[in-house]
Structure 1
Amino acid sequence: MESLRDLTPPRRLAAALPASEAGWLAGLPELAERVAERFGLTVERLVEPGGRSSVALLVRRADGTRATLKLVAPGPAGQPAPAELELAALRRWDGLAAVRVLDAAPEDGALLLERLHGETSLRSLPDAKATLEALSTLRRLWVAPGEDHPFPSVGERTGFALGALRAAAGGEAGPLVERALELRDELLAGPPEEVLLHGDFRQGAVLASDGERAPWLAVGPEPAVGERAFDLARLVRDRLHDLMASPGAAAIARRRVTRLSGTVEADPDRVRGWALYRGVASGVRQLAAGRRADGEALLEFASWL
């Protein structure tokens, strides 16, 4: 890359970020240049299409080591800084089933990570094999969060979206939204479980590595502390568009709940409940962002459960 001053943020990122992040987005080239100089990095290229809340650059350190520089948007005001939470989770895992942190400047939302094969995720495998690998990875991520940890509880994490959900209760998806809100209350009133969760675990968040520690490593956590069913719930709707194109999609989704729950000895009713809640919450968020097709697909998925 000739100059970071010429860095153009990926279109996916620019389209997904809310207006409140416009200042961060505009200052991204200068931020990338400053962080690269601080860490002594040579930037090779921008990773595209990239994520919806961060940008990744392939870099080399001064000693020639390949790495990935991730710059994370600050996130909504009043909520924990995403980069700080991600850093805390990755350090807690310390390379166990997850990408390793090489350096960090959390005040700038900057994480310098070991480089994985970003073009190869578990989605490159047949679904059955990918699911087995995903569950193997997930089991190793479920550790105690540690004393004085900074991670929000699942109740706090889901609480951030309650305003938007309650506002959607008067719309066309009102009955489904109301059911999701009821389920959240019921699930949070259940027996507590305190493990560190990835928070956004899916096949696309597990990348191929060089195999020194494990062939597959998780990236991009949105960590929280709570029950394992919350992580499994996101996995239930993996490859959603493929699922929707399959005959008997609703029955397949329900069987996924049973299969995933049985593999890790989780309560299938709790997995089903969180899968419905998370599907509705994501669907409402997509609709609010103007991504109607994605939002409607998520709400249809939730209706199957």
Structure 2
Amino acid sequence: MIPEAFARSTIDREGEAGAAWLAELPGILADLLERWECVRDGEVVHGQVGVIVPVLAPDPAVIKLSFPHPGNVHEPDAFAAWGGDGAVLLYERDDERFAMLLERAHHSTLGELGDGDEIAAVSGQLSRRLSIPAPARLPRLADRADGWAEELRQGVADFPGAVPAAAVDAALAVVDELGREQPDLLMHGDFHARNILRGEREPWLAVDPKGYVGDPAYDGATMLKPRALALIESEDLMMTLRHEVNVFAEAAELDPERVRRWAHFQAVQAAFHGRRHGFGRARGGPYLDRILALVDQLAVSWC
């Protein structure tokens, strides 16, 4: 049941703990199938840290099993708070084993659409619906502000001259002016077009939330990062991205300048992170150089 690529990447990332978890997965799934009265109904697919098992329960659903990871702790809390309004429904949860029984959606994502305006508009509409008063005990994005500021200053020290001082100063201003006091709203936390899937009950449904409390404009900026990579060959990249910011912000009922400022902060953050760790798409080589050139351009242009 475990895709080979997923097993390999889990062991590469998690070592012995990952191997031990993979060995337990078949038994965990068998127990959940019995307890939740499901039967398997298709091939297992996977993301970065979890597998998705199609089941009938009796209606089409999926069991999501994730490697125990801090980023997944509050995923079921977010689904429970939304109650299916703009996101897949949560039917059952086993927090100890990082498992959920969820409404099944299609594999096709919003990111596969060719129309940038539709991607931005649908994302904005969903962001507005998902931005509800946050439940208690969820992590606050504002609590990360001190760490963000230190990370940027350390980036300057480790990679002097990589990002112009004016761009770093503007990113630090975003931390101070937007990051330390944020709305008490539930955020997705990893909001981009690949985490928005075709649905049956609704045209589009959000998946894979982190469940933070904070500024929905931050989610809007997160949505832009993969869009920038998808549009890297555009004749005028910044004009296209600014247009999509405006479309997203109007649909989400947000201030486009606030989204732009968060996008600037995230670009500067990515410029240092990429030099230190690489990116999921590229850890080295010419493609990493190309992505770094893109985020460097964004760090200056969004400023």
Give the alignment's TM-score, normalised by structure 1: 0.81
Alignment equivalent of 2:117, drawn from 97, 103, 128: 128
Cα distance change of structure 1 residues 178 and 13 upon mapping to structure 2, 3 Å threshold: farther
Does the 8 Å contact 2:126/2:252 carry over to 1?
no
Q: Helix, strand or coil for the counterpart of 2:81?
A: helix
Instruction: Give 1:180's aligned amino acid.
Output: A
Task: Please list the CA deviations of residues 191-249 of structure 1 after superposition, one character each: whole Å capped at 9, or x if unmatched.
Answer: x4221111111111110111x2x111000112211222112112233422232210111
Counterpart-to-counterpart distance in 2, 1:12 and 1:142 = 36
Alignment equivalent of 2:53, drawn from 55, 58, 61: 58
Unpaired runs of 5+ in structure 2?
A: none
Task: Please list the CA deviations of residues 107-156 of structure 1 after superposition, one character each: whole Å capped at 9, or x if unmatched.
Answer: 222222222112x011222222222222222211111113xx12222212
Alignment equivalent of 1:73, drawn from 48, 56, 67: 67
Q: Helix, strand or coil for the counterpart of 1:277?
A: helix
Q: Report the aligned-residue RMSD.
A: 2.7
Instruction: Give 2:296's aligned amino acid.
Output: L
Counterpart-to-counterpart distance in 2, 1:163 and 1:90 = 32
- Percent identity between the two aligned chains: 26
Does the 8 Å contact 1:230/1:274 carry over to 2?
yes
Q: State yes or no: 1:200 paired with 2:194.
A: no
Does the 8 Å contact 2:120/2:247 carry over to 1?
no
Further displaced range: 130-139 or 85-94: 130-139
Alignment equivalent of 2:238, drawn from 230, 242, 250: 250
1:60 Cα deviation from its structure 2 partner = 2.0
Alignment equivalent of 2:97, drawn from 101, 108, 115: 108
Counterpart for residue 35 of structure 1: 28
Cα distance change of structure 1 residues 303 and 199 upon mapping to structure 2, 3 Å threshold: same
Q: State yes or no: 1:183 paired with 2:174.
A: yes
Counterpart-to-counterpart distance in 2, 1:83 and 1:117 = 21
Cα distance change of structure 1 residues 237 and 221 upon mapping to structure 2, 3 Å threshold: same
Counterpart-to-counterpart distance in 1, 2:170 and 2:8 = 31
Runs of 4+ deviating beyond 6 Å:
none
Q: Higher relative contact order by CA 8 Å / sep ≥ 6: 1 or 2?
A: 2
Does the 8 Å contact 1:70/1:112 carry over to 2?
yes
1:274 Cα deviation from its structure 2 partner = 0.7
Counterpart-to-counterpart distance in 2, 1:267 and 1:97 = 21
Map 1:168-179 to 2 at 5 A: 168-170=155-157, 171=159, 172-174=161-163, 175=165, 176-179=167-170
Instruction: Give 1:237's aligned amino acid.
Output: K
Q: Helix, strand or coil for the counterpart of 2:52?
A: strand
Counterpart-to-counterpart distance in 1, 2:7 and 2:116 = 29
Q: State yes or no: 1:284 paired with 2:284.
A: no
Instruction: Give 2:25's aligned amino acid.
Output: A
Alignment equivalent of 1:166, drawn from 139, 153, 160: 153
Instruction: Give 2:47's aligned amino acid.
Output: G
Aligned residues between the structures: 283
Instruction: Give 2:60's aligned amino acid.
Output: R
Does the 8 Å contact 1:84/1:106 carry over to 2?
yes
| Higher helix fraction (1 or 2) | 2
